[in-house]
């Protein structure tokens, strides 16, 4: 009898661990069967086939969060790639199953267009009405043990610093950890799922339209204006190329084959299917795609074609700043002068990146002493003083670039406007920002031509280069290419052509 009871207990434990439908844990009284005189009757619970339904958190509003009303007019037409939903009743606090994955350029961005977000145009800018949004993320390694207040102050420097302080002071930061509203004093633990429910204000971008350059069965090629990011990032979501193409052109299920900086204009290639995306991505990775950019730089660029082979390394991952450094990754850029404007002391230069490093063209031009016009990071000679020499870069963008940040002036309102999107509890609704100037939203760098083994695309010349004669745009002879001389640490300047470079 003892052996039968023990064998039955082992079978039940094995069933509870390895069955497809998980049974409830074995009751403790079953273990006593080994010592009892006779086995007790055991009732095996039926497998649970119905899914467990969690309570709707949005239906139980947390204190301090005003739930905006919903109406039938707020609905967005459903489509295959844009998830439509009514005006949110509150944050979506569902904790998703965490999977390890790597972001790829072939991935399709899930588009969720809030019904209360609308485009409008003003002062030459594309703007978005503020809307409610939930930021979600898992705890990062560098956050562990720190409070939510520390993370909110230090990590989200893309948000205006004054607005961040106002949110914290007014206790209007609605943060949830693992689906539960949490105070800012909460210390972050490993695998915490953090959600920040906020009234989101996006930055404006240029009102210049996106132009379709070419379209095939597999690819869509556009001419991207400067100031618009390819993907949602930072303070841009609706004002990104992906969302504008979906909202205004009806182009969905697109995969970005390569990336352009937000401040850079020019060719941007999208693939319509996975095989085309993989093909273009492989061609770019294997360096069989020929790329040509145009840049307007300060100074008189030499007539010889210049080849820069300096390696590039990241010096500030948080701010995304790179620098020429011996320990960096190898990269090569070829430059050829096209035109010199003596009145403005600027040159139009054709740039051919032979590798694809981040900010490669911008860094190499700054390094040889011809920074790109309007470049707020690599256009300042004071920031970079030569190879392996860089001024200290802090973690506060407002300290590092005070003049650039000062251009985004704002003042506090005494009375809220009568717009329907205003939230009285949102500190940003009480602040009016001045519209940015055009030169603050672009750098004079343009992706001009891309050519692969079986395709070739080209855009029109950017507005700052349309005065160039077509006869000036010609291929240089290989014999005219010169490499940069090595710069010793004691050498403060070096001569290249007829110009002196810091």
Q: Which residue from 337, 229, 291, 311 is spatially nearest to 456, judged by alpha carbons?
A: 291
Q: What is the pLDDT of residue 124?
A: 93
Looking at residues 39-50, what average pLDDT do you find?
Answer: 41
What value does the mean pLDDT take over residues 274-297?
92
Of the listed ranges 224-238, 337-351, 417-431, the one predicted with least confidence: 417-431
Q: What is the mean pLDDT of residues 367-374?
A: 94
CB atoms within 10 A of CB 214: 15
- For 173, the enclosing helix (H) or strand (E) is none
- The whole-number pLDDT of residue 155 equals 74
Give the whole-angstrom CA distance, residue 181 versus residue 175. Answer: 6
Looking from the CA of 458 toward its CB, the CA atoms found within 13 Å total: 6
- Spatial distance between the Cα atoms of 31 and 182, rounded to a whole number of angstroms: 41
Q: Annotated catalytic, 326?
A: no
Whether the pLDDT of residue 425 is over 70: the answer is: yes
Mean pLDDT in residue range 25-51:
40
Residue tagged active-site, from 261, 396, 435, 438:
261
For residue 255, the Cα-to-chain-centroid distance in whole angstroms is 15
The domains of the chain are located at: 1-53, 75-286, 289-406+443-501
Please give the class, per CATH, of domain 289-406+443-501: alpha beta
Task: Quote the mean pLDDT of the chain.
Answer: 72
Res. 310 pLDDT band, cuts 50 70 90? very high
Over residues 449-473, mean pLDDT? 87
Q: What percent of the chain has pLDDT over 90?
A: 35
Chain Cα centroid distance, residue 446: 20
Q: In this predicted model, which residue has the larger pLDDT, 380 or 309? A: 309
Question: Tell me: the pLDDT tens digits for 3-33?
Answer: 555 555 555 555 444 443 333 333 333 343 3
Which pLDDT does position 489 carry in this prediction? 35
Contact 393, 321 (CB under 8 A): yes
Identify which has the larger pLDDT, 333 or 379.
333
In the predicted model, what is the mean pLDDT of residues 132-159? Answer: 81
For residue 502, pLDDT over 80 is answered with: no
Q: For residues 57 and 50, give the distance between their C-alpha atoms in angstroms, rounded to a whole number.
A: 20
pLDDT at position 291 over 50: yes
**What's residue 24's pLDDT?**
34
**Residue 427 token pair:** 């500190």
Q: Which residue has the tokens 């434990």?
A: 13
Average pLDDT over residues 388-392: 41
Distance, CA of 291 to CA of 259 (rounded, Å) = 13
pLDDT of residue 265: 96
Query: Rounded CA gap, 262 and 219, in Å?
Result: 21
What is the pLDDT, as a whole number, of residue 468? Answer: 83
Residue 390, CA atoms < 13 Å, CB-side half-sphere: 21
pLDDT of residue 99: 54
Does 76 score more than 90 pLDDT? Answer: no
- Among 450, 459, 279, 305, CA closest to 368: 305
Q: What is the mean pLDDT of residues 137-165?
A: 76
Q: Considering only 160-164, 241-245, 348-352, which range has the smallest mean pLDDT?
A: 160-164
- Reduced to 3 states (helix: H, G, I; strand: E, B; else coil), residue 121 is strand
In this prediction, residue 107 carries a pLDDT of 54
Pairing verdict, β 205-206 and 193-200: unpaired
User: What does the pLDDT read at residue 420?
Assistant: 64
pLDDT confidence band for 337 (50 / 70 / 90) = very high
pLDDT 10s digits, 197-243: 888 889 999 999 999 999 999 999 999 999 999 988 888 999 999 99
Query: Would you say residue 85 has pLDDT above 50?
Result: no
The pLDDT score that the predictor gives to residue 92 is: 59
89-107: average pLDDT: 54
Provide the pLDDT for residue 148: 85
51 vs 313, higher pLDDT = 313
């Amino acid at each position: 009898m003892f052996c039968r009871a023990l064998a039955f207990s082992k079978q039940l434990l094995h069933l509870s661990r390895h069955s497809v439908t998980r049974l409830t844990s074995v009751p403790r009284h079953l273990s006593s069967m080994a010592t009892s005189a006779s086995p007790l009757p055991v009732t095996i619970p039926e497998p649970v086939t119905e899914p467990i339904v969690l309570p709707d958190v949005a239906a139980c509003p947390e204190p301090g969060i005003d739930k905006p009303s919903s109406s039938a007019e707020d609905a967005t037409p459903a489509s295959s790639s844009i998830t439509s939903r009514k005006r949110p009743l509150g944050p979506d606090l569902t904790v998703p199953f965490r999977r390890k994955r790597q972001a790829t350029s072939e991935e399709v961005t899930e588009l969720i267009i809030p019904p209360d977000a609308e485009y409008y145009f003003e002062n030459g800018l594309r703007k978005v009405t503020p809307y409610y949004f939930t930021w979600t993320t898992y705890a990062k390694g560098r956050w562990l043990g720190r409070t939510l207040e520390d993370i909110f102050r230090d990590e989200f420097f893309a948000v205006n610093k004054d607005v961040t302080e106002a949110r914290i002071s007014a206790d209007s930061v609605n943060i949830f950890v693992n689906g539960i509203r949490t105070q800012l004093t909460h210390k972050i633990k490993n695998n915490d799922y953090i959600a920040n429910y906020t009234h989101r204000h996006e930055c404006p971008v240029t009102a210049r339209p996106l132009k379709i350059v070419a379209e095939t069965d597999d690819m869509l090629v556009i001419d991207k204006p400067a100031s618009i990011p390819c993907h949602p990032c930072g303070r841009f979501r609706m004002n990104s190329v992906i969302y504008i193409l979906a909202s205004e052109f009806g182009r969905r299920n697109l995969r970005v084959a390569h990336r352009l900086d937000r401040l850079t204009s020019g060719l941007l290639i999208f693939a319509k299917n996975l095989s085309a995306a993989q093909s273009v991505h492989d061609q770019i990775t294997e360096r069989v795609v020929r790329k040509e950019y145009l840049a307007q730089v300060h100074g008189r660029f030499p007539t010889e074609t210049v080849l820069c082979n300096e390696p590039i390394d990241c010096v500030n991952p948080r701010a995304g700043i790179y620098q020429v450094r011996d320990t960096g990754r190898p990269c090569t850029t070829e430059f050829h002068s096209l035109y010199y404007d003596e009145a403005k002391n600027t040159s139009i230069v054709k740039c051919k990146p032979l590798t694809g490093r981040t900010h490669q063209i911008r860094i190499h031009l700054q390094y040889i002493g011809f920074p790109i016009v309007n470049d707020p990071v690599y256009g300042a000679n004071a920031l970079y003083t030569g190879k392996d020499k860089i001024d200290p870069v802090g973690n506060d963008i407002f300290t590092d670039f005070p003049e650039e940040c000062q251009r985004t002036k704002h003042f506090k309102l005494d009375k809220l406007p009568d717009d329907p999107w205003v939230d009285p509890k949102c500190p940003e609704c009480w602040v009016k920002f001045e519209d940015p100037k055009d030169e603050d939203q672009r750098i004079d760098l343009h992706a001009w031509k891309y050519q692969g083994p079986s395709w070739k695309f080209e855009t029109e010349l950017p507005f700052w280069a349309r005065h160039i004669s077509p006869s000036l745009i010609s291929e240089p002879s290989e014999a005219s290419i010169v490499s940069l001389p090595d710069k010793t640490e004691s050498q403060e300047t070096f001569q290249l052509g007829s110009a002196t470079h810091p």
